[in-house]
Structure 1
Amino acid sequence: MFVKPTSASYEKGQKEVRQQIRSNRTRIEGEQVEAERYEKQYLKKIEMRCESQFTKAANKCRKMFQAAYDKCYDTVTWVAAWLLCWPMKLDFVCNIAEALGGASRCDPSKDIDPGFGEGYSYLKNSRSSFSKNFKDVRLQYKIGRIKQLRDVRDARDTAVAVMHTVNSKRAILNNILVIIKRLLAFVFLRIIIESQKYHDKYLRDIEFDNIYITKYFRRIDARRRVQEKHTLLPLKKIERKKLVDPFSLKPLKSEQKKILIDTAILLLEMLTATILILLDRLFYEALDLIRRHAKIDYLQTGKHDLYLEVKGTGMIASLLRSLLKGFNVKKRIRIERTNEVCLPRPSLMSNYYFLKIYGTYFAVWLLMLLQAYTQRLRRIICAYFYRKREKKRVLFLYNETLKRRRGFFRFMRKKVKRMARQHRLKENYNVCAVLRMNYPRTCDWLRIFPSARRTCLICEEPEPRKQSDFVECPNETCSFLYCKECWSDMGNVCLVCETENDDTSSGISEDEYGF
């Protein structure tokens, strides 16, 4: 179906067409006027530069004539200068050189290509077109799907996590040390309690810690020696194991046992510290191995060349060539990278710390050894405040020791004789002792072991390794051995031989002199 347009809409369309034609004509005329203006300005600028070059050349020529005249005038006398230097005043020659070429000497219109103004105007307008076009640029891109990584942390997060763990462990350790210090602050209470226990036992039990040969003990023995009575000093071997001189350096058997137990505990603690030191050395060796063999150096070399070429011989091509010339890049690359900064730098533990650790353990062991002797001061302190009680304790110790000595030798004499009569008295020889006795030349080295040496019949003490002073029974049929002290106490008589020759009994009860 065809609809005939009305006269109003037709006139409106014609009006818009005429306006568009008029605007295009105006724009074209404006561009032509602007192109002519740019071309006139450029020609005027070139002409002024040319005139400036001629002016500079003329001024330089005049300066040269003036310098030559001054040099000539200074060289000769004034009379000769008036005759010889006057040609240097003819500087009008410079004006003739400046006037060469006439009025058209600086006319650039014949050297400029036609259409220069239009090209420059088009180039200037293209700048705004470039800017406008770049504002409406739309980029289309597609982001690839990256696989999601789990439980991945960079070096910075790992370092923060390690520091957090170390700080938390250190806080726990500091709290434990504070608790231990507070508990150790109450150790003095144990000292007071133990002192009170010792004090009470000292006053109540006369046999408690009554094993010391004091000055009063020696005085009693000296008084009995003057009265020609039986004395105790010097002590017998069996008594020296139970009685001790407070000023002697040799510790008691009980003190030796305590020192050995404490030393074993201290050695275990030293073993723990030694293991930690060895682990530290192992850790150092591992880090040092990484430092020596994990160094990596990166070297990147190359070149970046960017060359933009504009083809053409016209004015626009020359302008674009000069404009894009600054974008040409010619760059050489040499980049060196290394991971030396990130490598560990371990350091060995200095000898000062070794000396400090093991020196502390040695000082603790010396204190443990000194403790065995400082314990003897407890009796001295109580004896100072309770003098009468101390005298009673010393008298009791002296009398009790005297009774035990008499009873022991009577008991041993009767026991040996009884076993000899019953034919049950014999020496217990082990394999080492038998080898040493049967093969004295080849197996005499076994005497370094106590089990390979013969013992005293009375006190059962093994003979010494070298220079034995033990006495063997002179009877060839008797092979029993006595130490020098027991031989003297038995009256220099072998009890076994005496029993065999004497059938009478001593009549002393075995239970009467039990030790």
Structure 2
Amino acid sequence: MDDKDEFESETLIVNEKFQSIRDEIVLQYGYDRFEPSGRANSTQDQFAAKTVLQCDRVVNQGIQRCADWFSSRWEACLEAIPVPVINHILCIPMKFHFLCDVMRVMTPWCREHIPVEGNFGQLFDQLNSSVEQLSREFITELSVQEHEEQAVLDGALPADNFTQAVKRSFNDLTAAMEQVFNVLQLLLSFTFITMFTQAIGYLRSYMRDVNFDNTYITTYFRQIDARRRRAGKRFLLPLKKSEKKEFIYPWSLKIHAEELQQVTSGLFQVMFVSLLSVILLAVDFSLFHVLDIVSRHTISQFNLTSSHQVDFRVDGDTIMGRLLRTMVSAFNSSSSLDVTSDNSVCVSPPSAVSSDVYISCACCVALLLLFSCLQVYSNRLRRVIAAFYHPKREKKRVLFLYNLQIQRRISSADSKHTTSRGQKRRTVFQQLVRCWRRLC
């Protein structure tokens, strides 16, 4: 549609240029406005007749201008010589305006040298009718058909179908991943419930089982021991080396054997996360190098160059030559095309993972390791919180622990004393046996 409008606009431009040329020719040869006559006289006769009239008009204008000049000089002479009689006598040559009639000798010469060729009228009529028909009946229809050849492969889809299939697959995968993420977010939003369940379970065990998490040397434990020490009774502190393994000092940084299981499970999680991070970073590093090699060796460049030039030349210095040269010059055109392109945009170089990512991963693993160790000390706070809200229950638990440890120490001392006595008796008997054997 744009090309059709362009052709029609070119036609209008040609018509306008010819109209200006026609007006120029008409005015140059004495026509006020060219109008094809309906009389029998042809255009050639009209141009010849009006050219003759133009010659007469030019000569008459020259004579009139000459007479006007003599009249102006007569008046100027009278003004220069103010004496009434003398000025008429001296200025009498300015009355010789009849000398201007000498210019009439140019009329026969102009008629003999009429600047109109013999076939000018016929060519002008043909050209005029051609331009009018061009402006009224010139219709263009430009039809461009593009045939795209595709390589036929076994099982290959056309470009449009392939693009639609890729888009559909990508949209389906995106929708599935969004659903998975929504489910994960929903599950993560319920993680706080596990905190409540663990707290409730710990409190129930704390209230029901006196042995549950009852291995701490608390302040009340020390007060009981100090009171028994002052009363001269058995006391426990300081603990023996074998007993220290069974108790936990709340303010001690040493990790107890029972707490070591939690640290071990946390370390396994840290190792798993660290291994996963190393694998992902290694895969990313490998992909970066592969894509870098591909981007550096798959860049192709092509250059498209074309040009065309349409140049109509009309030689000659006649009126028709100039007329045709001016009209045909509207069809002159030239264009050039020089396109250089490559596929660098499609194979842009990959971007490597910055060092900040590696530092962030290392910091996350370090924080996870730190939190795994700090979890031991945070779990000790559970007993402190439960004791704050249930102080009587805490005193009973501590008193039970203290008495239980007293009984263990007494039982251990008695068993050691019995064992030592048995060992001594067995030793005397063995000596007697040895002596008897020697005598025998």
Q: Does the alignment reach a TM-score above 0.5?
A: yes
Decide which of 127, 134, 153 is 2:159's aligned counterpart.
153
Report the Cα distance in structure 1 between the residues aligned to 2:56 and 2:285, rounded to whole angstroms: 89
The answer on whether the counterparts of 1:35 and 1:118 sit within 8 Å (CA) in structure 2 is no
The answer on whether the counterparts of 2:55 and 2:107 sit within 8 Å (CA) in structure 1 is no
Is residue 122 of structure 2 the alignment partner of residue 105 of structure 1? no
1:174 maps to which residue?
Answer: 178
Report the Cα distance in structure 1 between the residues aligned to 2:209 and 2:335, rounded to whole angstroms: 104
Residue 243 of structure 1 deviates from its aligned partner by 0.8
| Per-residue CA distance 1:259-305 (angstroms, 9 max, x = gap) | 22123213323433444445445555555556656555544445424
Report the Cα distance in structure 2 between the residues aligned to 1:388 and 1:50, rounded to whole angstroms: 141
2:120 maps to which residue?
Answer: 116
The answer on whether the counterparts of 1:47 and 1:108 sit within 8 Å (CA) in structure 2 is no
Residue 375 of structure 1 deviates from its aligned partner by 2.0
Decide which of 43, 53, 56 is 2:48's aligned counterpart.
43
Report the Cα distance in structure 2 between the residues aligned to 1:337 and 1:93, rounded to whole angstroms: 83
| Per-residue CA distance 1:95-154 (angstroms, 9 max, x = gap) | 689656234326554x544343334444555668889998899x9xx9999678561226
May I ask how many residue pairs the two structures share in their alignment?
369
Change (3 A) 1:383 1:135: closer
Report the Cα distance in structure 2 between the residues aligned to 1:282 and 1:40, rounded to whole angstroms: 94
Decide which of 249, 259, 265 is 1:255's aligned counterpart.
259
| Per-residue CA distance 1:353-386 (angstroms, 9 max, x = gap) | 5555554554444444333222222323333444
The answer on whether the counterparts of 1:303 and 1:331 sit within 8 Å (CA) in structure 2 is yes
SS at 2:308's partner residue? Answer: strand
Is residue 212 of structure 2 the alignment partner of residue 208 of structure 1? yes
Q: Which amino acid is the alignment partner of residue 191 of structure 1?
A: M
Change (3 A) 1:199 1:336: closer
1:396 maps to which residue?
Answer: 400
| Per-residue CA distance 1:217-260 (angstroms, 9 max, x = gap) | 22233344445555433333332222101121222222222122
Is residue 270 of structure 2 the alignment partner of residue 266 of structure 1? yes
Matches within 5 A, 1:273-292: 273-285=277-289
TM-score (norm 1): 0.53
2:385 maps to which residue?
Answer: 381
Change (3 A) 1:144 1:331: closer
Structure 1 residues not aligned, in runs of 5+: 1-30, 63-77, 80-85, 422-498, 506-515
The answer on whether the counterparts of 1:36 and 1:117 sit within 8 Å (CA) in structure 2 is no
The answer on whether the counterparts of 1:217 and 1:394 sit within 8 Å (CA) in structure 2 is yes
Report the Cα distance in structure 2 between the residues aligned to 1:295 and 1:55, rounded to whole angstroms: 83
| Per-residue CA distance 1:135-189 (angstroms, 9 max, x = gap) | 899x9xx9999678561226x984x765655554444333333333333444444
Change (3 A) 1:128 1:194: closer
1:244 maps to which residue?
Answer: 248
The answer on whether the counterparts of 1:206 and 1:393 sit within 8 Å (CA) in structure 2 is yes
Report the Cα distance in structure 2 between the residues aligned to 1:327 and 1:333, rounded to whole angstroms: 20
The answer on whether the counterparts of 2:312 and 2:332 sit within 8 Å (CA) in structure 1 is yes
Higher helix share: 2
SS at 1:237's partner residue? Answer: coil
Select the structure with the greater relative contact order (CA < 8 A; seq sep ≥ 6). Answer: 2
Structure 2 residues not aligned, in runs of 5+: 1-35, 68-79, 82-90, 431-440
Is residue 203 of structure 2 the alignment partner of residue 199 of structure 1? yes
Is residue 203 of structure 2 the alignment partner of residue 183 of structure 1? no
Matches within 5 A, 1:328-407: 328-329=332-333, 331-344=335-348, 346-349=350-353, 358-405=362-409
Change (3 A) 1:217 1:98: farther
The answer on whether the counterparts of 2:216 and 2:250 sit within 8 Å (CA) in structure 1 is yes
The answer on whether the counterparts of 1:306 and 1:328 sit within 8 Å (CA) in structure 2 is yes
Q: Which amino acid is the alignment partner of residue 263 of structure 1?
A: L
Report the Cα distance in structure 2 between the residues aligned to 1:47 and 1:500, rounded to whole angstroms: 172
Q: Which amino acid is the alignment partner of residue 42 of structure 2?
A: R
Report the Cα distance in structure 1 between the residues aligned to 2:299 and 2:149, rounded to whole angstroms: 32
Change (3 A) 1:205 1:503: farther
Change (3 A) 1:395 1:287: same
The answer on whether the counterparts of 1:36 and 1:118 sit within 8 Å (CA) in structure 2 is no
Report the Cα distance in structure 1 between the residues aligned to 2:289 and 2:207, rounded to whole angstroms: 63
The answer on whether the counterparts of 2:306 and 2:336 sit within 8 Å (CA) in structure 1 is yes
SS at 1:211's partner residue? Answer: coil
The answer on whether the counterparts of 1:58 and 1:94 sit within 8 Å (CA) in structure 2 is no
The answer on whether the counterparts of 1:35 and 1:121 sit within 8 Å (CA) in structure 2 is no
The answer on whether the counterparts of 2:301 and 2:343 sit within 8 Å (CA) in structure 1 is yes
Change (3 A) 1:323 1:218: same
Q: Which amino acid is the alignment partner of residue 202 of structure 2?
A: Y
Report the Cα distance in structure 2 between the residues aligned to 1:43 and 1:49, rounded to whole angstroms: 10
The answer on whether the counterparts of 2:221 and 2:398 sit within 8 Å (CA) in structure 1 is yes
Q: Which moved more, 1:209-218 or 1:377-386?
A: 377-386
Change (3 A) 1:167 1:385: same
Report the Cα distance in structure 1 between the residues aligned to 2:168 and 2:150, rounded to whole angstroms: 30
Change (3 A) 1:240 1:171: farther
1:218 maps to which residue?
Answer: 222
Change (3 A) 1:136 1:162: closer
